[in-house]
Amino acid sequence: MTLPKLPEADFIEEYRTIGPAAMAKKYGMNERSIKRRRRRLEDRDDNEIVSPNARYSREANGSGRINVDLPDGTILVGGDGHYWPGPPAGAHMAFCQVAERIKPDIVVYNGDAFDGAAISRWPPINWSDQPSVAEELLVCQKRLGEIQDSAGNAALYWTLGNHDARFEAKIAATLPQLEKVAGTALHDHFDKDWTSCFTVAVNGDTFIKHRIAGGVHAVYNNVLKTGVNIITNHLHSPKVIPWTDYRGTRYGVDTGCLSDPYHPAFAYTEDNPRNWIPGFAVLTFRAGKLMPPELCLQIDPGVFIFRNESWSPVDQWKYD
């Protein structure tokens, strides 16, 4: 029996009983296709279909923050892909491969998947060619789809980055009358499995968001001033800074970037040296407590290291 012929009641029962990964193996189907059918049924019937593998709970509030309880598990965090048409960067490939390897409970794309070059307030440098908004959206959908395919049954969150915000800001500034029209919000163009927000707050003391402070000391200032574990992107400069006081130790993290630091999207740096390193972070929780965060980093062009193992993501890339 193939999955498309599976009656709806049986499909729902199977999804709730064994989950999408086991269904994909049982019926020889793509897991993403299974999730799409689940989503269509949810949208049609306004009834959530939850797999048994969801080991977390979540609650949204009106401020753009989503509260997540994850007593034991892992979260994969990366962002700043600034996706343009063309082959994916090595860090994006590595992100997908590590997702397949560690099978995280949650994946957070921590802002700036969309670059928005054509709608930037800055003019192009040296009359450089820039992709259109439509071209960028298509490649964002493709790259996020690759992450989805790799992430298995993980919950998917996308936090708004400053470049992501260009999309709606441009529309709001020029045609505010289009507010709430379908397609005028960036998340309208992302798969519905991605839940958009400003902040993912885990266990009440670990906050994941695109940015807070700026500058070379941003990570130090973030962890000092927020009073929580704080995981950001934006700097493109990965680091882990622990801060210990009378309450214990908490961590400030920047996860680096999923892009090539010398990509044409960053022509505005005028070919100056930049303290950017492609990479991302893995957060592990035990009994609700964040363990020391781990980084996966590029150590040479096209070579990454994670948990003392180095490899070339290009050699193992299996997507179109």
| pLDDT tens figures, 293-302 | 999 999 999 9
Nearest to 133 by CA among 89, 92, 174: 174
Amino acid at the residue 235 = L
Could you count the other beta carbons within 10 Å of the beta carbon of residue 263? 16
User: CA-to-CA distance for 289 and 268, rounded, in angstroms?
Assistant: 40
Give percent of the chain with pLDDT exceeding 90: 70
Q: What is the pLDDT of residues 118-152, one digit of tens each?
A: 998 777 777 778 999 999 999 999 999 999 999 98
In eight-state DSSP terms, residue 202 is: E
Amino acid at the residue 91 = A
Nearest to 80 by CA among 320, 261, 302, 267: 261
Q: What's the pLDDT band for 28 if we cut at 50, 70, 90?
A: confident
- Please, are residues 252 and 240 in contact by the beta-carbon 8 Å criterion? yes
Question: Mean pLDDT throughout 198-222?
Answer: 96
Q: Which helix (H) or strand (E) holds 304?
A: strand 303-306
User: CA-to-CA distance for 146 and 152, rounded, in angstroms?
Assistant: 11
Measured in whole angstroms, how far is the alpha carbon of residue 203 from the centre of its chain?
19
Could you count the other beta carbons within 10 Å of the beta carbon of residue 173? 10
Residue 263: which residues within 8 A CB-CB, separation 6 or more?
A: 82, 84, 89
Which of the pair, 2 or 301, is modelled with greater confidence?
A: 301
Q: What's the pLDDT band for 1 if we cut at 50, 70, 90?
A: very low
Report residue 172 as tokens: 């709001």
Q: What's the pLDDT band for 59 if we cut at 50, 70, 90?
A: low
Nearest to 283 by CA among 102, 155, 52, 146: 102
The secondary structure of the chain in percent helix, strand, coil, rounded to multiples of 5, reads: 35, 25, 40
Q: What is the pLDDT of residues 152-196, one digit of tens each?
A: 889 999 999 999 999 999 999 999 998 889 899 999 999 888 999
User: CA-to-CA distance for 262 and 265, rounded, in angstroms?
Assistant: 8
Give percent of the chain with pLDDT exceeding 70: 95
